[in-house]
Amino acid sequence: MPADPARLAAARQLLDHLGVTIAVLQADPGPGLPAFAEYMPRVLAAAGPGARRTYGTYWNRMAAAWGNLPLNAVAASDIEAMQRQIAATARSRRNSRSGRHAGEHVIAAARAIYNRAIADGLLPAAASPAHRVVKPRRLPSTRHALTPPELEQINLAARSSGKDVILDALLLRLDTETACRRGGALALRLDDLDTIRGLVRLTEKGATLRWQPITLDLAAHLDEHARTRGAVLPTDRLLRYRNGQAITSRRYDHLWARLGKRLPWVATQGVSTHWLRHTTLTWVERHFGYGIARAYAGHTDSTGPATTSYIKADLQAVATALAAMTGQPHPLATTEDRAGP
């Protein structure tokens, strides 16, 4: 007996409303799908430290809300409801976007879970509810390059306040000279420093590794700092507290919180270490061009115009830009007549 067309239309409309396709209904997800809370330890074990740091809070919320449900029992509407709830209750900051970033992270965190389940063969790709929730378009960043007077104010405030001005001054100088991310600075070890050639070996996101020029003066101060504070073995961390313990990201948090109290515009605009990266790379791009700025930043991705494959800069070009920016000679720099700010 043929199906009633009206009933078929009503069923399709209901499935569309639930975000379920015929392909998902027909797919066999396999017997004995684990519950959400049961599967989360496998997700955490496979995730890198960056993913755990970014998504950990959201994964905990999901495990608490859906812990007893099998993976295929969570609907797209459940994820979207959590997205809206977390976005609405996100902590408000002066530079916040009304919880928009928190909402983005909810979807990305859910997609990371289901990507793992798909890779493990527990679910077909079409069965992922997280990938049926539309991810909000990311708004342009509010970060921008600091002006020379602003950068001077930040350095002066760091050197004239706090309990360890030597460490804070080194952090700001290292981040400004190298345009490194905070993770790159925190990961530095004693054997990542070459005081003769003026280089540091940076390990940053995606496990990328590169040698980055620094001034010989900074290299000498970093070496003295590390050894004075207990670094002995080649694998000992470079940046350390006075008690000899290696610093963590909390040092950066405290530093910028203190600077925000001393300089209200720092707190208002949400200035952070990444602004120093913007500042240095903007200067390099303006004075030495996109290719050298790209190398200075350590960008190795192949996205963008095909021309980027042909404008790679070498270590000497980066050292030359550093020498011009700092006004200090570098052993790897070539002769240039460009002057820094």
CB 83 within 8 A of CB 106: yes
C-alpha distances out from residue 231 to 176, 202, 269, 297, Å: 23, 18, 36, 28
Q: Do residue 121 and residue 193 come from a single domain?
A: no
pLDDT tens per residue across span 137-167: 766 677 889 999 999 999 999 999 889 999 9
Can you give the pTM of this predicted structure? 0.70
Is residue 205 within 8 A of residue 183, CB to CB? The reply is yes
Question: What does the pLDDT average to over 197-221?
Answer: 91
In sequence order, the 6+-apart residues with CB closer than 8 A to the CB of 161 are 258, 262
Measured distance CA(201)–CA(209) in Å, rounded: 7
Q: Which residues, in sequence order, are CB contacts of 244 under 8 Å at separation 6+?
A: 229, 230
Cα 203–chain centre separation: 13
Mean pLDDT calculated for residue range 297-303 = 69
CA-CA-CA-CA torsion sign (29, 126, 121, 45): negative
Identify the bridge partners of residue 208 per DSSP, sorted by sequence position. Answer: 204
Residues 115 and 177 in one domain: no
Here the tokens at position 174 are: 């290292």
For residue 222, is pLDDT > 80?
yes
- For residues 130 and 15, the model is more confident at 130
The answer to whether residues 91 and 164 belong to one domain is no
Give the model confidence (pLDDT) of 66-89 as tens digits: 988 899 889 999 999 999 888 888
* 297 and 158 within one domain: yes
Token code pair at residue 227: 């050894």
Q: Are residues 209 and 110 in the same domain?
A: no
Domain boundary among 132, 164, 186: 132
Task: Give the per-residue pLDDT at 98.
Answer: 47
The whole-number average pLDDT for the span 241-266 is: 95
For residue 196, is it within any domain?
Answer: yes
Give the C-alpha separation, 63 to 211, whole Å: 41
Q: Does the structure show a pLDDT above 50 at 27? A: no
pLDDT band at 205 (very low <50, low <70, confident <90, very high): confident
Kindly state whether residues 128 and 153 are assigned to the same domain. no
pLDDT for the residue numbered 48: 82
Q: Which pLDDT does position 304 carry in this prediction?
A: 54
Contacts of 95 (CB under 8 A, 6+ apart): 142, 268, 269, 270
**289, part of any domain:** yes
Total number of domains constituting the chain: 2
99 and 59 in a single domain? The answer is yes
Q: Does 276 or 25 have the greater pLDDT score?
A: 276
How far is the C-alpha of 258 from the C-alpha of 197, rounded, in Å? 34
- Domain span including residue 247: 148-326
The predicted structure's pLDDT at residue 23: 52
226-229, long-range: CB < 8 A, 24+ apart: 226/190, 226/193
Q: Which tokens go with 317?
A: 């070009």
Spatial contact of 321 and 331, defined as CB atoms under 8 Å apart: no
Side chain identity, residue 225: H
Is the same domain home to 178 and 242?
yes
Which of these three, 82, 103, 132, is where a domain ends? 132
* C-beta neighbour count of 71 within 10 angstroms: 21
**Which pLDDT score, from 0 to 100, does residue 341 have?**
45
For residue 270, tell me if it sits in a domain.
yes
**227, 203: one domain:** yes
Mean pLDDT value across residues 101-127: 90
Decide which of 102, 132, 162 is a domain's last residue. Answer: 132
Between 325 and 2, name the one with better pLDDT: 325
CATH number, domain of 224, equals 1.10.443.10
